[in-house]
Every structure is written in structure tokens, then in C-alpha cells.
Amino acid sequence: MFKYLSILLIFFSCSTKQEDCLEKFNNEIGEEYAIALEELTLEFDRNIMKSDGSNFAEKCRNFLTPLSEGNDQLFVERIEKRKDLMKKLTSLDTMIFNYGHIQNDSLLLVRHITIKRKSEYIKALSNLNGCSDLITEYISIIESGLDIGPVLAASGAVNSFKDEDFENLINKRILAVEILLPYLSNPE
């Protein structure tokens, strides 16, 4: 009996900690951005649920695998670009990302996305000490000046996430921002 109570206590304390972290994060980015980020995360979940798999983590891996292998065309075909959602995400998108163009080897201009390292989004994530090792690792990568982008984010999730990492509410938001938001936005 004590064993079952201990398991329940651990489950609820982890769940409460996750909810506390999410509340702190939402308060720091502000209501407008928190609502837009929730919409984006729900869209991410909605797209994942169309994938094959017996549980959420397996569905996530199946959804992200083509992108993690560099096949973004197959990934893009799975995403429905709803105009109402895209309009809601405009302010979130411009708060988080810088857009520009760079010339590639064939001298074509290619859209280039970089994360704004001083955005409210990054500041809010930076203040979530102790919420998740993955959040801490993500922030250290961003602060080192590297841009992750959709392919690397998908690859990292497919190859490194434990099943419970896919369920973490903040991790889901990071994945939604890094993977889905660039494909739903089109600022020029």
C-alpha cells in the first residue's frame, strides 16, 4: 500500500512542478504571447495525433522522423496551414525570430531564420531553473550563438527524448516553436 501511495505522490509532485513551471513561464512572456503559444502547441499536438503510434511519444517520433532525416517536404505536406491560426501567431513569430535572406552556393537568396536571443521567450525560458534539464540544455545552446532550426530540433527529439520528455508542457512549446512555427509563418 505504501508503495502505491509513494508512486502517486511522485506523480502528482512532478505534475504540480510542471504546472508551476508553465505558470511562471506564461506570466513572464505575458498573456498575449502565452495564448498564442498555447494555440501553437495545440496545433502541434493536433498534427502529431494524426501520426501512427500506440502512445503520444511514439506518435511524436513518427511525426518528426521525416524532418529529422532532412525530408522537410514530407513533413510540410502533413501540416495544414490554417489562415486563422497563422494570423494569431504573427506577433509570437516576430517576437521570437529574426528573418532575413542569405545567398547560398548557387547565389540564390534563401530565407534565413535566427532566434532572437534577447526575446521575452528566451528570457522566460532562462528563468525556469530546475524545471527540466532539456530546457537548461536548450538555453545553453541558444546562448552559445547556435541556431537549432526545425531539422536539428526534430532530430534531437527523435534521438534523445525519453517518452516522458514529449509530455513535458514546456518541452512541447519549445518543439512547437522550433519545428512548427517556422513552417506556419511567412513574414517577408
Cα–Cα distance for residue pair 182/81, rounded to 1 Å: 11
Domain ranges for the chain, please list them: 2-184
Mean pLDDT (whole number) for 72-90: 82
3-state DSSP call for residue 78? helix
pLDDT over 80 (residue 17): no
Cα–Cα distance for residue pair 154/103, rounded to 1 Å: 25
62 beta partners: none
Length in residues, the chain = 188
Least confident residue range of 72-86, 100-114, 148-162, 165-179: 100-114
Instruction: Note the pLDDT tens digit of each residue in 119-147.
Output: 889 999 999 978 888 888 889 888 888 88
Instruction: Note the pLDDT tens digit of each residue in 28-40.
Output: 999 999 999 999 9
